[in-house]
Amino acid sequence: MNELYKNTATEVVNLLKRKTISPLEVVEHAISRIEAIDQHVNALPIRCFERAIEQAKSFNNIPTNPDKYLYGLPIAVKDYNDVGGVRTTYGSPIFSDNVPKKSDATIALLEQNGAIPIAKSNVPEWAGGHTFNPVFGTTRNPWDTNLSAGGSSGGSAVAVATGMAWLATGNDLGGSLRTPAAFNGVVGLRPGP
């Protein structure tokens, strides 16, 4: 299980649905990976590990549901999305103490389908093209830490590229998923205009 991060999201979900591994084991693996790697790249500055552990434990009380396409999978959430009880800063000092009471519609739907938010990914203040901000600093490209991770979903792209998350949320109007994905060697999917 030490190299679980090398599996695809689909492979991990299949292992979870077959009960080969538990959601708690996957969350613990992700936490270990984040703690080992993030200090070098600063992609996931907001951690919600306790919340994720509690959410993972709750899967023990429910039967495996094949309709939950992300059943027990930890995900990184871009710091423009609200996760209930977890800081959302938008990369701005104005919102540095903002803790929403409930998850936004995107995250609520992901959670209904089995996703477990484990950390919030770094973003540029007000969605710029390079991921740095006055709250958490700069996210570094994992292939060369002197290079940009892109933006505005740079933290999400780096989290996936380094195996700290199998999937991460993002948003894209002018390349905010696609640019960091290209800079970090992963795929950024913009499903519609």
Task: Enumerate the active-site residues.
Answer: 78, 152, 176
- Look at the chain and count its residues: 193
